Amino acid sequence: MAEKDSNSNCRIVSLAWPCVKKKVECVGSAFLRYYNIKCHGDDPSFTESKSHEKAEEIVFDDDVEYLRSLDPKEWKSQDHYAVLGMKELRYEATDDDIKRAYRQKVLKHHPDKRKAQGEDIRSDDDYFTCITKAYEILGTPVKRRSYDSVDHTVDDTIPSTAEIKKEGFFEVFSKHFESNARWSEKKNVPLLGDENSSREQVERFYAFWYEFESWREFSYLDEEEKEKGADREERRWIEKQNKAARAKLKKEEMARLRSLVDLAYTYDPRIQRFKQEDKDKKLAAKKARQDAVQAKKAEEERIMREALLAKQKAEEAERARLDAARAEREIQKKNLRKERKALRDLCKANNYYAQGEDQTVTHMAAVEKICEVMKLTELQDFMKELGINGRIAFVKTVQETEEKLEAERKALFDTKKQDEQKIKKDAVLRTPVEWTVEMTQMLIKAVNLFPAGTNQRWEVVANFLNQHCTFIDDKRLSAKEVLNKAKDLQSSDFSKSSLKKAANEEAFDQFEKEKKKISNHVDNTGISKSDKLVNGTTTAEIKPEEKPWTKTEQELLEQAIKTFPVNTPERWEKISDCIPNRSKKDCMKRYKELVELVKAKKQAANLSK
C-alpha cells in the first residue's frame, strides 16, 4: 500500500510483512558464467565467436626460400608450423586453421601447378613432401599432441632468484604458469592471480598445480620407429626402448613442474602473508589463553583473599562470641555465688529450719546439696518460695533434691552395669569356639557337601554348621574360623586322631538304635508261619511310616537344590547327604510334590483371572 505526500514527491510505502534477511544459494547459468570468469578469467560463451573472428584475421606466411631449403629426408627436425605458414600461431591454431593453411600451400606449391609454370620438379626430392608431412603431423590430433609436447619454442626453464627479484613475482610466474597450463588434462586451469587474491583462490591454485595431471608425452623423440623393425621380436625391443625413454622424460618433466610450483610457493608474497597472519593468529590465541589463565589466577587469588578475610572476620566474631559467653558465664557464676551465699545466710538466720540439733546438721548438708544441684533461676525461685512458705518449702525442696540425686545415682549405676555386661558379652564372643567331636564331624560332612567352586563356599559351610550344631551360648561360627579349622584338619593326621574311634563308635550305636527301632515296629501277631525271623526281622517287606517334613528340612532341601544344579553328577545323592535322616528317594519324592503344588497354584491363579 502506497500513499503520496502532497507536499513532496516522495512516496510512503507500507509493507504487509516485515523485512527478513535470508541466505540465498546462487545457482543458474548467469552465476556459473560469473564464477567461471572470476576463477579462470575466461567466458566459454564467447570462445566460439572469438575463434571465428580470429580465423578471419589470420594471414598465413608463405616463405618460398625456407620451403626450398627443406630436406624431405629430415622431416622430423623441421618446424611443421613454419612449413604451413603458422610460425606465430603454433599450438593456438585450430584444426580449421591447419586445414586452410594446408589448402593454400597445396594450391600454390603443388608439383603439377609449378610444373605447368615451367619449374623443374624432382619427384624424389621435392619440398612439397615436407608440406604433406607437416599436414600429416598437425592434422592428426594424436601426432600433433606428440609434436606440440616437444615444440622447440616451449619454455621449459625455471626462473632464477635474481629474475624473480628483478621483474617481480607475479610477472615472472604468470608467464611460466600460463605456458605450462597447456599441458593440463583438466580444463579451466586456475590463474595465479594478483596481490589481492583471497586465501581460497590461492589455496585452490596451489592445490591444482600440486596435483597437476599433464598430457605431455615424448613419443615424437623416439630414436627408432617401431615399424622399421624386421620382425616381431625387434619391434618389441624397439617399443620397450622407446617406452623407457618416454618414462624417463616424463619423470623429468613432472619433477620440473614440481620444482616450479615449489619455487612459486616459496616466493609467493601472499603465502608469506598468510603464514604471518596464521602466526599472528596463533600468537593472539596464545596470548588470549595466557590472559585467561592470568585472569583466572587473579580471580582465584581474589577469592582466596575474600575467603581469608571472611575467615578472619568469622574468627573474630567467634572470639567475640566466646568472650561474651565467657563474660556471661562469669556473671552467672558471680550471681550464682551471690545467691548461694544469700541462701546460706537465710537458712542460717532461720536455724536451717530445724526442730532439733539432729535436723540442724542434716539440713546444713541438704543446703549444700541444694546449692550444688540448683541453677541460678531455680535458686532465685527457691529463695522467693522460702520467703513465703518457710520451713514447708525448705523440707519439700530437700526431699525433691534427694529424690533427684537418687535417680541420677541409679541411672549411673544402670549404665555402668550395662557397659560391664556388654564388655563381658564381647569378650565371650571374641573367645574362640571350642570345637567338639560333633562339630568336627559336621564340618567334615559340610566340606564334602559343598565342594570347591561353590559360591561363597565357607560362608555356606559356616551357616550349615550354625544351623545343625548345638551351642551353649550365643557364640556362632564365622567363615574365617571354619576355614582355619578345615586347614588344621587337613594338615593333621586323621588316622591318629580320636575322631576316628569316636566316629566308629557313634556309627555302631546309630546302627544298633535303628535295628531296635525296626524290631519294635514288627507286629508278632501279624507274622505268618511262612515268614521267618532273620536277625529279629521278618523276611516280609516292612514299610516304615513316612515322617512329615519339618521347616528346617525344607530349608535344607531348597538350599541343596540351589547348590547342586541339574548338570551335577550324582545330584540327588549329594542333596540327600545335606539333609539328616532323609534318603535320596525321600528327597526326590518331596521335590515332585513341590513341583505339583506350584503347578496347581499357577493353574488356580490362571483360572481366577
The pLDDT tens digits of the residues spanning 236-289 come to: 998 899 899 989 999 999 999 999 999 999 999 999 999 999 999 999 999 999
pLDDT digits (tens, 9 = 90+) for 293-320: 999 999 999 999 999 999 999 999 999 9
pLDDT for the residue numbered 310: 94
Instruction: Kindly report the three-state secondary structure assignment for every residue of 339-354.
Output: HHHHHHHHHHHCHHHC
Question: Cell 564467447 belongs to which residue?
Answer: 46
The residue among 525 and 407 whose pLDDT is bigger is 407
pLDDT for the residue numbered 7: 52
C-alpha cell at 396: 519439700
* Band of residue 507 on the pLDDT scale cut at 50, 70, 90: low
Q: Is 288 exposed, middle or buried (0-12, 13-18, 19+ CB in 10 A)?
A: exposed
DSSP state of 524: G
Q: List, by residue range, all CATH 1.10.10.60 domains of the chain.
A: 551-609
CA dist 280 and 273 (Å) reads 10
* Band of residue 18 on the pLDDT scale cut at 50, 70, 90: low
Q: Which fold has domain 437-516?
A: Arc Repressor Mutant, subunit A (1.10.10)
CA dist 130 and 72 (Å) reads 5
The CATH superfamily holding the domain 551-609 is Homeodomain-like (1.10.10.60)
> Considering only 178-187, 224-233, 394-403, 404-413, which range has the smallest mean pLDDT?
224-233
Among positive and negative, which fits the CA dihedral 469, 471, 474, 480? Answer: negative
> Ranked by mean pLDDT, which of 5-14, 231-240, 377-386, 471-480 comes out on top?
231-240
Q: What angle do CA 113, 55, 64 make, to 5 degrees?
A: 35
pLDDT for the residue numbered 545: 55
pLDDT for the residue numbered 200: 92
pLDDT for the residue numbered 543: 46
DSSP string, 459-522: HHHHHHHHHHS--SSS----HHHHHHHHHHHHHS-GGGSHHHHHHHHHHHHHHHHHHHHHHHT-
The residue among 118 and 4 whose pLDDT is bigger is 118
pLDDT for the residue numbered 298: 94
pLDDT for the residue numbered 87: 87
pLDDT for the residue numbered 535: 40
CA dist 605 and 594 (Å) reads 17
DSSP string, 565-605: -TTSTTHHHHHHHHSTT--HHHHHHHHHHHHHHHHHHHHHH
The residue among 172 and 60 whose pLDDT is bigger is 172
Give CA 240 to chain center in angstroms.
57
The residue among 7 and 374 whose pLDDT is bigger is 374
Do the Cβ atoms of 11 and 3 come closer than 8 Å? yes
Interval 431-452 mean pLDDT = 82
| Whether pLDDT at 503 is above 60 | no
| Whether pLDDT at 604 is above 80 | no
pLDDT for the residue numbered 12: 62
